[in-house]
A and B are shown apart, each in its own frame.
Chain A
Amino acid sequence: MNPRRDSYLVFDQVTKRFDGLPVVENPFNLVVPRGQFVVFLGPSGCGKTTLMRMVAGLDEPSTGAIWLEGSRVGPPDERRGMVFQSYSSFPWLTVRQNVAFGMRYRRDLSSKAKAARAQHYLDLVGLADFAAAYPSRISGGMRQRVAIARTLAAGSEVLLMDEPFGALDAQRREQLQIELRRIQSEEMKTILFVTHDVEEAIFLADRIIVFSSRPARIVEDIDITAELGSERSIALRDSDIFFRRRADLLRTVRSILTVV
């Protein structure tokens, strides 16, 4: 079997240097099956964001390559959508226009089809009632939903999320985590999600990749779904098994930091 051709998303011997400084030094290898929710967990500045940006095509690997469905990843396109922590929605467009912006450059859809898709994703993220509002008039959590809906409306198969809930308060964060899990299972999307929040990682992930500090190296590759199942609810969050998993992971993360 040739993993490049037969797997969904493949990091093949990827390294990255910025101005001669290594960000990803040891050749990075990872195979992600379609529909998996993968969380990159690691200290700030360890290179996990750079790995994700390379999937988006916003940065290029210095050596090695990234493969998506058998073809080498090139410049950005709407198949791989990015959701940032801040400045994620355009302040000069209404919520509906923001979501529709995702399809602005798609010539294969009629304007009627675009409007229907926009409505579908507004409903999916629960923003139908706020369609006419401007981002300045809604909460930070809603603005992140706008960005998620826009990326989905664009037709992204891979969602790249760079600490998308990092600026939100605890309640909004939990609510959005539950919704993101629901959306992912409904839409069958593959998600790469960067965070340094251990609890968020366990709650969201099918699989957690724990990174060392820079230059990035995989410390642990954890199959969370095998341990916790794929159903995620608030009840799970309060369960003993979740607490034990969290304590374990916290120990791992602490050991990384003490090495530095």
Chain B
Amino acid sequence: MPPFIQIRNLTKSFKKGPNLITPLQDLSLEVPRGEFLALMGPSGSGKTTLLNLIAGIDTPTSGELVIDGRDVARLSRAQLTRWRSRHVGYIFQLYHLVPILSAFENVELPLLLLPLSRSERRTRVEAALELVSLADRAHHRPPELSGGQEQRVAIARAIVHDPELLVADEPTGDLDGESAAAILDLLSSLTRDHGKTIVMVTHDPKAAAIARRTLHLEKGRLIEQAHRGGAFQAPSPPEPLST
């Protein structure tokens, strides 16, 4: 079975003034379907750059980036946008919810891009909010929610369109210990019970400990891998996110 994410000799560089910056250099990596992968490393090590490339919100300078059999490095901007809307869920450190919209409306945003009726959207949003245990906060706006609740709404928004891939940029970085543990449990269950492949950037070793594998990056290169448990086995067929 081919790996879900296959990266070969991936390089990202850009010009900043007269200098050529290369945050990611000649990186190769494979991620099986359903794996929970943590990326660690000091600031400027290239982990967020790698995450953005995998999420399709940035494009590599060279190399190969194949996700679920599709070489996303070769997609046009419009194709990449369409691919992202169907296959990727992004979780930000600072939640990045739209403040004037309710939790329900925030979660509904990715579904507005799909050909779904209002009732279909409602069913999916309610299921996603139920999954993150926030059904009773559906009509609250972000300022009326705690940090942990906001992040759970952001996770519901990331999974509502049922993408195979979730990318998370320090999802617990702005949360207290208890809320962070709840978020990590939730992410863990998304891999375990729903077969999602998760790539997470973190500075927190406790957060990384939840992941099955941790990669350490430094100066744009992979320097170390740590596995937990035995050989990786793809999860059993995932449960659907919505009824």
Decide whether A and B are members of one complex.
Answer: no
Q: Chain A residues in contact with chain B, CB under 8 A? A: none
Q: Chain B residues in contact with chain A, CB under 8 A? A: none
